[in-house]
Amino acid sequence: MKNMKGDKLFIILFLAPAVLITSVFLYFPFFENFFQSFYKTDGFFNSTFVGLDNYKRLLADEIAKKATLNSLQLMLYVAIFQVGIALLLAVMVDSIKVGAGFFRTTFFFPVVISGAAIGLLFTLIYNYRNGLLNEILVSLGFERVLWLTEQSSLYMVAIPTVWSYVGFYFVIFLTAIGKIPQDFYEAAQLEGVTGFQKLTKITIPLIVGDIKVCLVLAITGALKIFELVFIITRGGPARSSEVLGTYMYQKAFVDANVGYGATLAVLMVVIGLTLALVTNKLMKSEDITY
Amino acid sequence: MSTDKNQLTYWEKFQTKYLIKSKIGKIFVYIVLSIWAISTIFPLVWVLLNSFKQSRDIITNTFSFPADPTLQNYINAFSTINIGKSYVNSLIISGSVVLLVLFFGGLASFVMARMSFRLRGVMQTALIASLLIPAFATIVPVYRMMIDLGFVNTYLGLIIPQTAGNLPFAILVISGYMATIPRELEEASVIDGCNRWTMFLKVFLPVSLPIFGTVATFVFLWSYNDLFSSLIFVEHESVRPIVVLLSQVSSQYGTDYGLMTAAITMTVIPVVIFYLFAQKTFEKGATAGSVKG
């Protein structure tokens, strides 16, 4: 990386637009958000400094507590099922020859569909009058079921959340498994390792790094769940499926409680960073290269 | 059971015999894979078929093929909710975001990958750190800035924040690719009389086209699918992109099933067709994009 004459000017010119845009609209707001969490705002323009009031309010806020628990619960489902199903499907697709390309294509494509469309699709699936599920039940001779209740709503948003992104981790795992050299398996075969042992003793240990990455992505990604909940349940009924994303949106932009919305955003960042660090630490292991 | 380590346990023998080597195992694998494939295809086919039926047929005959196919739902989508306008809005906004991210990100990537300067390490760290910043954490201050600038409910109101949000990802991925371009190419272009600008334009840009394509695909998709920021910055009818329209359809026209199925179909079909043509790019983007938190 030897520099040429006059490079200084080009470095500045080339970097300037990107640095300017990201500093003003990404990095600065990130810190500014922290400051705004100490203000109480009235209709967006009048802000008064209220110290830790927003944080005291947060601690006493039952809905915020419920939303946090719901977010953490979704995180658990996403980490276990999204990553788990993806791993299972990837191992299976890797083991077959006929049709592997077809499955690869079909599994991935929900990833490219917008959450808004998937949300609307699932409102139609769950619909009481003529939703897909109830129509199947009726045609089998059962009674209609009310799918979105206070008890079930969180599961009902967890299902499309998990389903729609399995393909993403599936492709990552399939790529990782494909990179394992074939002689590993051949050598193992000579040693008498067969069947499921191949999976537990070779495949999984060799892609443990990718599993780690996927888990961290799934866990931090779960905090950003918004669209499906917003469209399918709007956090209801009776706040039963409220998550941090939808609650923050409601507080800051519907109730115009901007300062408190900023406080909720701080909470989301703190939870996200903590979990990312913890998962990284817990799963620390030597990376395998081959 | 034998204690010999090399000896397989009965369970393992059973697995090998009945689950791995045998036909039964293969059939089981295909059944599981097919079930998942059906789960991804069937709902969309169901929506697609129903979008050609009249609303009352959707209620009475949801599984049948449309006996009397009609385009009425699509006509409604254009006349009552003006879906055409939202398409154009989405295209303008997401297209601009892609162009800006590729141009500014490409230039910055070139510097990050091929030139040395004092703040390079700091900037690399800042880029990676920014992947941990969710949109939620910046939206309140950005919204206030957009109000001050008068950009709320204009195209720029969404283009600017989305460009800022996607630039770090683009720079990390593109500069990673540019770093692998052989040094000889750079030297040859200097001998040919290139300065850094012409070197970028004539050598690095063409050579890096595949990665630009991958980044473009994903940035477009993230922008097109981003409901949260869109709801806040461009909610008004005249500028709302298609995802905002979709979120409003269910609350305003929640009983018009025909309209809803048509709206979903129109949102999804272009993306799915594009995906089928450029599948490799999408999948490469997914693995490259796995750096984006």
* pLDDT tens digit sequence for A233-282: 888 788 889 999 999 999 888 888 888 999 999 999 999 889 888 887 77
Residue A28: Cβ within 10 Å count: 16
Amino acid letter, residue A201: K
Band of residue A286 on the pLDDT scale cut at 50, 70, 90 = low
Is B241 at the interface with chain A, CB within 8 A?
no
Is A83 at the interface with chain B, CB within 8 A?
no
Are the C-beta atoms of B44 and A118 separated by less than 8 Å?
Answer: no
Alpha helices in B19-135 (DSSP H): 23-50, 55-60, 72-79, 83-114, 120-130
Is B169 at the interface with chain A, CB within 8 A?
no
Residues 45..74 of A with a Cβ closer than 8 Å to B: which? none
Task: Give the three-class secondary structure for A146.
Answer: coil
Chain A environment of B195 (Cβ under 8 Å) = 6, 10
Are the C-beta atoms of A98 and B33 separated by less than 8 Å?
Answer: no
Q: How far are the Cα atoms of A254, A268, B44, B166 from residue B155, in angstroms, in the given order? A: 21, 28, 31, 17
Band of residue B186 on the pLDDT scale cut at 50, 70, 90 = confident
Residues 78..107 of B with a Cβ closer than 8 Å to A: which? 104-105, 107
H or E stretch covering A96: none
Q: Of B34 and A195, which is predicted with more confidence?
A: B34
Is A4 at the interface with chain B, CB within 8 A?
yes
Q: What percent of chain A has pLDDT over 70?
A: 94
Residue B13 tokens read as 């023998």
Nearest to A15 among B33, B108, B290 (CB): B108
Are the C-beta atoms of B81 and B267 separated by less than 8 Å?
Answer: no
Residues 209..228 of B with a Cβ closer than 8 Å to A: which? 221, 224-225, 227-228
| 3-state DSSP percent of chain B in helix, strand and coil, to 5 | 75, 0, 25
| pLDDT per residue as tens digits for the range A115-164 | 888 998 898 888 887 788 888 888 888 888 888 888 889 999 999 999 99
Q: Using CA atoms, how far apart are residues B125 and A125, in angstroms rounded to an integer?
A: 44
Amino acid letter, residue A222: A
Residues 230..259 of A with a Cβ closer than 8 Å to B: which? 230-231, 244-245, 248-249, 252-253, 258
Q: Using CA atoms, how far apart are residues A205 and A208, in angstroms rounded to an integer?
A: 5
Residue B170: Cβ within 10 Å count: 28
Q: Using CA atoms, how far apart are residues B45 and B38, in angstroms rounded to an integer?
A: 10
Mean pLDDT of A83-91: 93
CA-closest candidate to residue B265, choices B90, B35, B58, B50 = B50
Strands (E) across chain A are located at: 39-42, 46-49
